[in-house]
Each structure stands twice: as C-alpha cells, then as structure tokens.
Structure 1
Amino acid sequence: MGPRFFGYRDRVQDELVREGHQVECVDDRPSETVWFKSLAKISYHFTDRIILHYAEDLAERIAKEDYNMVLYLGGMSFCFTHRQFSLIRKSSNARFVAYLWDAFVNCKRFGQCRDLFDDIYSFEVKDCERYDLKLRPLFYSNTYRSIPLGSEGYFDYDACFIGSVHQYTKFKTVSSIVKELEAQGYRVFKYYFMPSRVAELWCKLTHRCYRGQVFQYESLNTTQVVEVYTRSKAVIDSPQNGQNGLTMRTLETLGARRKLITANEDVMHYDFAQYGDVLVWNSDSDGISGFMRSPYECPPESVLDSYSIKTFVQTLLGEAPPYRGYHNDDCCNETEDAS
C-alpha cells in the first residue's frame, strides 16, 4: 500500500515478485484526482466520508485473502484516521509493517495509527531517536549498479543535477552549487523540474533566484536518468528543508558509483561516506577542485549491497539483519539498537 508517485511502490513490488512473493498493490488513498488532493491539502476532514468507504473496501478485500504481510510505503499521504485504519488492521492476521520516507511530524494521521503496526521503519535518524522507529535508508534500483565505473576522459559532464526544485531552499542551494562549479570551468548537466507552469510562475514571483532559469515540466524516467549518470563524474543533490534522511538521489549515486556533492551534512555519518567520494557543500568553494580531481574510491561490495533494493525489501520482510551503517556518537543508545 502506498502512493503511485515516484514509482517507489512499484519498484518494491517488482523486487518482491523477483524474490518469489505474490503481491497486490493498492493506493494509500481513495483518489488521485486534483479535487481530492486539493481538499486533502486543506484538511482530510473534508474527505473523511470517502476515506471511510475506501477503508471498508480495503478491509473487505484483505479479509478475503490470506496475506502474510500488509506493507505500507509512504508518509504524509497516509489519509486514514485510527478508526478507519483499525477496520483494515482487524480484517487480517497479517503482519503490518510501515516504511516512512517523510518526516514523522508531517505524517499526522499516520502518527495516530502507529500502534496498529508491528514494525515501523524510517529514513530519518532523528525520528528514529524521538519516536523509537527503526532506521532504514531508502534504496537504489538494480539498474544503477549496471552503470560502468568509468575513468578520466570517459565523462561528458563533470557533474549533473536532476530533480524537483519547487522548494525555495533546495533550489537556492542546488543553483549555488551549479553556479560555483560552472564558474570554475566544470561542465554541468542540469534538469530543473517543476510540477507545473503555475508553480514556476509562483516561484518566480516570490523568489528572485528562480528568474532567468529554464525549467522542465516532464520528469525524466529511470532510463534517461541512468544515461545522464553514465556520462557524469559526480551527482549534485540537496535534501528538502528540514530533512536529514538520505534522498533517493543520494542512494542512486552510490549505486551508480559516482561522486556525490550534497548539502546534507548528516551524510558523513553513513558508512559509505568514509571512502572520500562525498563532498558536503557549505557555501564554500574550497575543496571542490581537489574533490573533482581525486579518483573514485569504490566502497566494498558489502557496503554497496546494504543499500540495494534487494536488501531494503529483505529488511522489511525481516529476512535481513538490521541496518547498521549509520554511526554518530551523538545518537542515543535506543537509536543504535533500533538501527
């Protein structure tokens, strides 16, 4: 169960099937229409009658099957009240497991239902500490591991950025990285995605840094992203404002065995960062030239494998050891045990 956007749910389904499981996918809310999502952004209370009917329908469908697990993937799109999701939980003896890729504070309705899940995983370290969740970063798909390692003279671009930029703080950071790299003569591929022309207009009206930039309205598919990564020595990334968990782009970069330039300081606490292929951007251009000139040092296969979609799925199924690639002396003991 999860939202359709990003395609994460479908990738997990494909991996589960590859592992030999029978899987049924369902949306985590009754409608993906513009009117429903618009009302939901104001308050789910406006759509509770529709959500209740959807919960009753899901409960009936789940009751008819002998499922081993009900797996929820998502976050802020979780729309059920405790009473509504209780109907689903009571309909089956399956194990209920959740994975959150949004900050817990933004998942208000999910927070009300946390007692209805047997296990809850999150990509946010601070949420794991605060709410006693289990730490598990996202994953990279198998396609990224098939990218050739490459060497000097192989690449068309020194760095690339592909991603959504409608959040001001993220775009400000990404554009500053791009501008500094270009000012130093590096070749940068940039694909700034906007969800709509209206969103672009609003951004340009409210923030000067958007003006004069070219934006795209169609997201690139995995094949297109892989093609750009293949031709790039490094990948630029920045988390959303207030987010410390590793983005999907960070893990795709790891799987593709490319250097990473990121504004996420917390990335240095992850095991793969110790190999020197990560540069944390802090509005200071010092170190870029040395970082770009240095050869890529590939992490061990055991480290790469721990972030693969196969290990991700096996962790949620309880078939893999707990994730232990995060090391920070400031973390509380409970987080280390949970992770």
Structure 2
Amino acid sequence: MNKPTVFLGMPDNMGIYRSIQANLEHHGFNVIHLVSDPRTFRYPSLSARLGVKFRKLVLRDKYAKQKLQAAVFHQNILSTLDAAGQADYALFIRGDLYAPELLAEIRRRIRRTMVNYQWDGMNRYPDIWQTVSKFDRFYVFDPADLQPNGNFLPLTNFYFDYPAAQTDETHADFYFVGSHLPQRSGVIAEFGHQARAHGWTLDFNIVCAAKEEKACRALYPDNIKLSTLTSDYAENLQHAARAKVLVDFKTPIHNGLSFRAFEALGYRKKLITTNTETAKYDFYHPDNIFIWDGETFDGIDDFLKRPYHETAPEIREKYSFGNWIRYVLDIPPYQPIALPEA
C-alpha cells in the first residue's frame, strides 16, 4: 500500500519542522516540505546581490533582502510542486507566510485535504485573514479566536511520541527556553532569584537579539543563560527530558498553551506555569501543574514534594502527535481535541 503524501509548510522555528517531518514519517506519511530556511538562502546571481545592495543603500529599502528571499522561496516552491506532482494532504502551520495565490496553486494539487494551524493567535500575524478561505480545515489554539458562527476548529499543540523519551538522567531542577519579552522579563528574573535562594539548579535559556544582549544581561540574574542564537528544537527536547520540572512563562500575545505544557505531559514531568488557562484543560491536575502568580512562592515547596499523578491513558494519548495528526487531517480513528471556553 502506498504511503499518503503530505506537503508540509511552516516557519523554521528552532528547526521544529524537522521533528514534525520525522514524526509524520514515523506515522506512515511521505513528506515533502515547503519550509523556508533562511540559513540556506543563496543569492541566485551576482546581479541579484548587487540589486539588493542598491535598494538598501540608495533606495533605503531595509527589507530588500527579505523581499528577494520571498521571491526566491516562491519560485523554489513552484519547482518543488512541479517535481512532486500531486499530494494527498497539505499541512500548514502559520499559513500567513505563504501568498494567497501560492496557496491556491498548492490546493489544486491536493487530492484530499489542505489544512492550516495558526499556533500564534489570529491577530499576531494579521495577514492570515487573507488566506483563511484557501484551506479546507482551519485550526486555532487560542479559545478567544474560536468564532461562534465561524468555520474555525479547535486545536492545541502536542507532544512528540517519536522517538520514545529517555528520562532517566537528570541535569537540572528546572528547565525553560524562550525569547526575551520585556513584559515577562521581571517574572523570569524573580524565578531566578528565588531559585538561588532555595538552592535549585536552573537550565534557563533566554534568546535575545545581539544588539540587546548587554541590556538583557542586566535584567536577568547570572543563573539564567542568554544567547543570541536559537537552539534546535530536538536539542530543546533533550533538555526537557533531563529536567525534574518544566517551567512556562506566558507570552502576553495570546492565551493558548505553549509546547511546554505538552512536553511536560509527554515526558510525565511536573510543570510550573504563569498561564492560568492551563487549569481549564482536561490533563490539568494540581499535583502535576502549579499555576504561579509570578510573585509569591507560597505552595511551590509542597507542590514539588507531592508525587506525580499519572494522567489517564486516553487523555495523554489525545495530545500525542499520532492522535493530533489524525484529528487535523480527519483520518479516523482519532479523539477530537477541544478548547475550553474563553
């Protein structure tokens, strides 16, 4: 029996598309990725390079290179589509990265279903509104984005069920990785100070722009590491697997749950989070998830002492990548994934 083919289109966030591709292949799909990786960009010609320099220096177009990258990316996708012919499915994450006319061209080559998952909230990247009609199924992860009379479908993030987790070795008490955001820097710094006072070991990694590195360093205690480079998502999973407790600091941009909540579920780790919405999900248990107010540490010591409460197998399975992809592409059997009320 031939494997179904899926086009995969998404941003190159921490190389997570490589983990998604590996899991799609593990679950029986042939994958053709339509992902733009800026690190592999090459100027198509010397004249193209000189043209970008001219636009930057003379026309003051600071986005000249990005515009060329987009044009080259568009052409590369068309070449990939011509070579591939048709596919059974197309899975997009953040369809706003793709021009509506390109999405229409891809849709003509799909035998079954083309879907999008907007994992950043609908209003963070408003260009997504131009593309909604191009998809057969459109998923959102923030309950506030579900339209009562609309066609959006509920979805969450997931944990990877391949490869199987190896969690015997512990390297740190607490693990977190995320971008520097001014709105949450104070809360993260406070956790660092409290960790030092309690004698806890941290594996905290904040990514900030190179031009902001000195200013960022002044905001965080020295038990929190800074980097100007993002790590690979597979490396992030290794760190998560080797920590006792995962920590999640909510971004102010949306109320959807980050991957950290699902990594904790998949690895059977405890989670400390500032996202109060977490308590509304069916996998929440107070022995496993501590909702932190960002100020007082009252109750955390008691939380850490309590044993992990095993989640019901059917609930844990619901958020695995295997169930997630069957639900997203509507390939029974699967458990539907719901969102709590906003």
TM-score normalised to structure 2 length: 0.77
Q: 1:119 to 1:169 in 2, by over 3 A?
A: same
More deviation in 20-29 or 223-232? 223-232
Partner of 1:298: 310
1:10 has 2:9 as partner: no
Partner of 1:215: 226
**In the alignment, is the contact (CA less than 8 A) between 2:184 and 2:249 conserved in 1?**
yes
Candidates 215, 235, 245, aligned match of 2:256 = 245
Q: CA RMSD in A?
A: 3.5
Distance in 2, Cα, partners of 1:276 & 1:288: 11
More deviation in 23-32 or 89-98? 23-32
Q: 1:285 to 1:50 in 2, by over 3 A?
A: closer
1:187 has 2:187 as partner: no
Partner of 2:146: 128
Candidates 61, 67, 81, aligned match of 2:87 = 67
**In the alignment, is the contact (CA less than 8 A) between 2:318 and 2:337 conserved in 1?**
no
TM-score normalised to structure 1 length: 0.78
Deviation at 1:245, TM superposition (A): 1.0
SS in 2 for 1:215: strand
How many pairs are equivalent?
314
Deviation at 1:281, TM superposition (A): 0.9
Query: Can you list the C-alpha shifts for 1:73-114, whole angstroms capped at 9, x where unaligned?
Result: 2365x141x344333334555521111111111222221011
Distance in 1, Cα, partners of 2:21 & 2:241: 26
Distance in 1, Cα, partners of 2:142 & 2:92: 17
Distance in 1, Cα, partners of 2:305 & 2:38: 51
Structure having the higher helix fraction is 1
Deviation at 1:325, TM superposition (A): 5.1
In structure 1, stretches of 5+ residues that fail to align are: 332-339
Q: Which amino acid aligns with 2:116?
A: A
Deviation at 1:236, TM superposition (A): 1.1
1:265 has 2:276 as partner: yes
SS in 2 for 1:272: coil
Distance in 2, Cα, partners of 1:3 & 1:32: 14
**In the alignment, is the contact (CA less than 8 A) between 1:62 and 1:92 conserved in 2?**
no
Deviation at 1:141, TM superposition (A): 1.8
Structure having the higher strand fraction is 2
Q: 1:12 to 1:223 in 2, by over 3 A?
A: closer
Candidates 291, 300, 303, aligned match of 1:288 = 300
Partner of 1:279: 290
Q: Which amino acid aligns with 2:250?
A: P
**In the alignment, is the contact (CA less than 8 A) between 1:74 and 1:101 conserved in 2?**
yes
State the percentage of identical aligned residues.
Answer: 18
Q: 1:44 to 1:107 in 2, by over 3 A?
A: farther
